[in-house]
C-alpha cells in the first residue's frame, strides 16, 4: 500500500469493553493544591482572586485543562524557550526554529492528533467511558503538553543534557567533602544510589516535572499547580533512575521520568490518574503520552529537514537520493518533490527548491498524522491495558520514511561543523558553571560553612533567589518529616544527604533555567571575557 493512502480500521464494536485504565481517572483534574470553587483554608488561584475583586464577577467558563493551557502560555518559563536552541546555534535575523517555535508546532500537531483520535474512538464506540467531554479534555491536555514537553531542557539542546551527565559521572566519584560525622567521603558515598543516578542520568523530561511542579513560582511552592492528567501526560518514562532499562523492549523504561525529589508527587499523580495498578504495583504509560511523543517526532523530523536546507546543510539532490534509495516502493515521495520544484520554476518563485521542500513537508505531515491515528486506534486495547511497548510509528507504513528523515538530518546537520563548534562551546560553558557552582554549595547551609572559600558566597548570591527559596522550603520540610519519624539511627545522615542532594539540584535547576544567550553572557562576565 502506498504511503498516505487511507487505511480504514474496521474494528469490532467494543462499547462494553473494559480496560485496565479508564478515562474518568486518566483525565484527573486533581492537582498539588486542590482546585475548588469554594474558598476554604487554601491559597486562592490567581483567577479566583481576580474574580472576587470585582463587584460583578464574570463567569469563567474555562475547564481545568483550558486553565492549564492559558497558565502555560503566560508563563516566563515558557517564554524562555524563545532563546533556547532547537538544533542550530541561535542567530539574529535567522528564521530557523527555536525551542519555543518547535513547542508551538508540537502543540498544534498534538491537538490535531487528539481531535482525530477522539473522533475515531467515539465513531467506533471503542470505549463506553469516552464521549465528547473526554474528547475536549484530551485535546486541551495534548495542546498543553506540547507547549511544555521541552521546558526542562538546559541550554544548547540535548548536548546540554549530555554535558551535565558527563560532569556528574566524573565528579561524584572524585569530589570529597565532610559528611554528617565530619569524615571526608566522596559525594557518591554520601548520597544514596538513586540520588547519584538522578544526576548521572540527568534528563530534561524529569526536569520539566520539577519546573512546572516546584520551580515556576506562581502562587506558592506548588509551581503552576497543573492538573495531574497533564503532568502524567508529560511523564514520558514512568520509572525512576534506578529502573532505566534500555534493553527491555518497553519504551517506558528507556529513560527516567522523575527525580527522587518528586517521588511523592509522582506517586500521587499515577494513583490519581489510574496508571498505577494497585494489585500488581505496575505503573503504565499514560495513553496520551504516546500521542505527545508522536507529535514531537512529526514536528522535529520535518523541521530539521526544512531548517537544514535553509542553512545549506541538506541539498535538494541529497533529499531526493535518500528517498529513492531508502523508500523505493513509493516513487511519489521523490517525484512530488521534483514536480513542486518544476512548478516553482515555472512561476518564477524565489528558491524553488526550498518552496518544493516546504510544500512537500506539509503533505508528509499529513501522512504521519494519518499513520499515528490509525496506529493508536488499531492498538487501542493494548494501550489502554498498559501493554503497548513501542512508539506509534512502529509497524506503520510511515515508519521507514520517518527513519529516513531522521538519519538524513543526523548525517548532514548534527555532524556539521557549525553544530560541533556549538557543542564544544557548550561543553566549556556548562562545565564551568557546574564546577564553580557545585563547589560553592557543598558546605552551604551545613555545620561546615567555615570551610567555604570567600568566592563561594558570591556564586551563591548569583543563584536564583526563587530557586534558593525552593531549596530552603523543601529541605526544611524533609528535615521536619524525618525528625517526626521514630528513627533512632541514620536520622542525621539522611538529613545531611538529602540536603546535599537538594543543593546539587539547586545548581542543575539554575543551569537548566538559563537561556542560551543568558548563559553565554554570564559566562563571559564571570570569566572576564569581553
Chain segment 286-329, per-residue pLDDT in tens: 999 999 999 999 999 999 999 889 888 899 999 999 999 999 98
pLDDT at 65: 96
19, 384 in Cβ contact below 8 A?
Answer: yes
CATH of the domain at 227: 1.10.3210.10
Question: Residue 225 falls within a domain, yes or no?
Answer: yes
Segment 485-504 shows an average pLDDT of 85
Question: Residue 77 falls within a domain, yes or no?
Answer: yes
In this prediction, what percent of the chain has a pLDDT beyond 90? 75
* 374 and 451 inside one domain: no
* Helix (H/G/I), strand (E/B), else coil: 85: strand
* 269 and 302 inside one domain: no
* 330 and 407 inside one domain: yes
Where does the pLDDT of residue 16 fall: very low under 50, low under 70, confident under 90, or very high at 90 and above? low
CATH of the domain at 294: 1.10.3410.10
Segment 116-137 shows an average pLDDT of 97
* Residue bearing the bigger pLDDT, 344 or 529: 344
Question: Residue 183 falls within a domain, yes or no?
Answer: no
* 411 and 432 inside one domain: no
Q: Is the pLDDT of residue 439 over 80?
A: yes
d(CA 184, CA 190): 10
Question: Residue 172 falls within a domain, yes or no?
Answer: no
* 492 and 467 inside one domain: yes
Q: Is the pLDDT of residue 430 over 70?
A: yes
Domain final position from 370, 385, 417: 417
Segment 352-365 shows an average pLDDT of 96
Kindly write down the DSSP assignment for every residue of 454-517, as one continuous string: HHHHHHHHHS-HHHHHHHHHHHHHHHHHHHHS---SSHHHHHHHHHHHHHHHHHHHHHHH--HH
d(CA 346, CA 20): 57
* Averaged confidence pLDDT in the chain: 90
pLDDT at 58: 60
Domain final position from 252, 283, 314: 283
- Residue 87's alpha-carbon distances to 70, 90, 161, in angstroms, are 27, 9, 14
Q: Is the pLDDT of residue 431 over 80?
A: yes
Q: Is the pLDDT of residue 446 over 70?
A: yes
Contacts 24+ apart (CB under 8 A), 472-476: 472/445, 473/221, 474/214, 474/221, 474/261, 474/502, 475/445, 475/499, 475/502
Flag the least confident range among 2-6, 196-200, 405-409: 2-6
Residue 41 CB coordination number (10 Å): 4
Domain final position from 391, 417, 443: 417
Torsions phi, psi for 78 (to 5 deg): -70, -40
Segment 174-187 shows an average pLDDT of 97
* 423 and 413 inside one domain: no
* 408 and 323 inside one domain: yes
* 411 and 491 inside one domain: no
* Helix (H/G/I), strand (E/B), else coil: 283: strand
- Burial (CB < 10 A; 0-12, 13-18, 19+), residue 279, is exposed
Where does the pLDDT of residue 9 fall: very low under 50, low under 70, confident under 90, or very high at 90 and above? very low
Which residues span the domain enclosing 342? 289-417
* 268 and 256 inside one domain: yes
Residue 525 CB coordination number (10 Å): 10
Question: Residue 42 falls within a domain, yes or no?
Answer: no
* Residue bearing the bigger pLDDT, 491 or 12: 491
For the stretch 141-154, pLDDT in tens is 999 999 999 999 99
CB half-sphere exposure, 93, CA atoms < 13 A: 0
Segment 35-54 shows an average pLDDT of 51
pLDDT at 508: 98
Question: Residue 317 falls within a domain, yes or no?
Answer: yes
Where does the pLDDT of residue 56 fall: very low under 50, low under 70, confident under 90, or very high at 90 and above? low
- Residues 6 or more apart whose CB falls under 8 angstroms from that of 415 comprise none
Distance of CA 307 to the CA centre of its chain: 22
Where does the pLDDT of residue 99 fall: very low under 50, low under 70, confident under 90, or very high at 90 and above? confident
Q: Across-strand partners of 184?
A: 178
Segment 212-233 shows an average pLDDT of 91
For the stretch 447-475, pLDDT in tens is 999 999 999 999 999 999 999 999 999 99
* 397 and 327 inside one domain: yes
* 451 and 514 inside one domain: yes
pLDDT at 180: 94
Q: What is the dihedral of CA 316, 322, 327, 331, to 10 degrees?
A: 30
Flag the least confident range among 197-201, 258-262, 415-419, 479-483: 415-419
d(CA 402, CA 304): 12
Q: Is the pLDDT of residue 117 over 60?
A: yes
Question: Residue 437 falls within a domain, yes or no?
Answer: yes
* 220 and 128 inside one domain: yes
Domain count, the chain: 3
Question: Residue 15 falls within a domain, yes or no?
Answer: no
Please state the pTM of the whole predicted model. 0.91
Segment 413-439 shows an average pLDDT of 88
Amino acid at each position: 500500500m502506498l504511503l498516505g493512502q487511507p487505511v480504514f480500521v474496521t474494528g469490532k464494536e467494543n462499547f462494553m469493553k473494559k480496560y485496565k485504565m479508564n478515562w474518568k481517572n486518566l483525565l484527573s483534574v486533581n492537582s498539588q493544591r486542590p482546585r475548588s470553587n469554594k474558598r476554604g483554608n487554601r491559597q486562592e488561584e490567581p483567577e479566583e482572586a481576580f474574580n472576587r475583586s470585582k463587584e460583578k464577577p464574570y463567569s469563567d467558563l474555562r475547564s481545568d485543562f483550558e486553565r492549564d493551557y492559558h497558565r502555560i502560555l503566560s508563563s516566563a518559563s515558557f517564554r524562555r524557550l524563545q532563546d533556547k536552541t532547537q538544533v542550530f546555534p541561535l542567530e539574529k535575523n535567522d528564521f530557523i526554529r527555536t525551542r519555543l517555535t518547535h513547542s508551538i508546532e508540537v502543540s498544534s500537531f498534538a491537538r490535531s492528533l487528539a481531535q482525530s483520535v477522539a473522533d475515531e474512538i467515539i465513531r467506533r464506540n471503542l470505549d463506553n467511558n469516552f464521549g465528547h467531554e473526554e474528547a475536549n479534555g484530551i485535546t486541551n491536555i495534548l495542546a498543553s503538553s506540547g507547549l511544555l514537553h521541552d521546558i526542562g531542557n538546559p541550554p544548547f539542546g540535548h548536548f546540554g543534557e549530555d554535558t551535565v551527565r558527563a560532569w556528574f559521572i566524573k565528579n561524584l566519584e572524585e569530589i570529597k567533602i565532610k559528611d554528617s560525622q565530619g569524615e571526608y567521603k566522596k559525594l557518591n558515598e554520601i548520597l544514596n544510589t538513586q540520588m547519584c543516578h538522578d544526576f548521572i542520568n540527568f534528563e530534561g523530561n524529569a526536569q520539566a516535572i520539577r519546573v512546572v511542579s516546584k520551580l515556576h513560582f506562581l502562587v506558592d511552592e506548588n509551581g503552576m499547580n497543573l492538573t495531574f492528567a497533564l503532568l502524567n501526560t508529560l511523564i514520558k518514562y514512568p520509572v525512576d533512575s534506578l529502573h532505566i532499562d534500555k534493553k527491555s523492549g518497553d519504551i517506558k523504561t528507556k529513560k527516567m521520568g522523575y527525580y527522587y525529589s518528586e517521588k511523592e508527587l509522582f506517586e500521587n499523580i499515577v494513583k490519581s490518574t489510574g496508571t498505577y495498578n494497585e494489585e500488581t504495583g505496575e505503573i503504565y504509560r499514560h495513553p496520551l503520552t504516546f500521542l505527545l511523543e508522536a507529535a514531537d517526532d512529526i514536528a522535529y523530523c520535518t523541521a530539521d529537514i526544512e531548517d537544514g536546507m535553509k542553512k545549506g546543510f541538506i541539498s535538494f539532490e541529497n533529499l531526493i537520493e535518500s528517498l529513492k534509495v531508502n523508500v523505493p516502493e513509493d516513487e511519489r515521495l521523490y517525484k512530488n518533490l521534483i514536480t513542486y520544484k518544476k512548478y516553482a520554476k515555472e512561476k518564477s518563485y524565489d528558491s524553488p527548491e526550498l518552496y518544493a521542500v516546504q510544500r512537500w513537508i506539509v503533505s508528509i505531515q499529513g501522512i504521519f498524522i494519518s499513520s499515528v491515528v490509525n496506529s493508536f486506534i488499531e492498538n487501542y486495547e493494548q494501550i489502554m491495558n498498559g501493554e503497548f511497548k513501542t512508539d506509534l510509528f512502529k509497524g506503520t507504513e510511515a515508519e521507514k520514511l520517518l527513519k529516513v528523515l531522521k538519519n538524513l538530518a543526523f548525517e548532514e546537520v548534527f555532524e556539521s561543523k557549525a553544530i560541533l563548534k556549538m557543542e564544544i562551546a557548550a561543553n566549556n560553558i556548562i562545565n564551568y558553571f557546574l564546577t564553580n557552582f557545585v563547589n560553592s554549595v557543598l558546605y552551604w547551609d551545613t555545620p561546615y560553612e567555615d570551610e567555604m572559600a570567600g568566592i563561594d558566597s558570591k556564586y551563591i548570591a548569583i543563584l536564583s533567589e526563587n530557586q534558593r527559596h525552593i531549596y530552603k522550603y523543601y529541605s526544611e520540610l524533609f528535615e521536619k518529616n524525618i525528625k517526626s519519624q521514630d528513627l533512632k539511627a541514620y536520622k542525621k545522615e539522611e538529613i545531611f544527604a538529602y540536603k546535599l542532594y537538594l543543593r546539587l539540584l539547586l545548581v542543575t535547576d539554575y543551569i537548566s533555567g538559563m537561556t542560551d544567550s543568558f548563559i553565554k553572557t554570564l559566562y563571559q562576565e564571570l570569566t572576564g571575557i569581553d
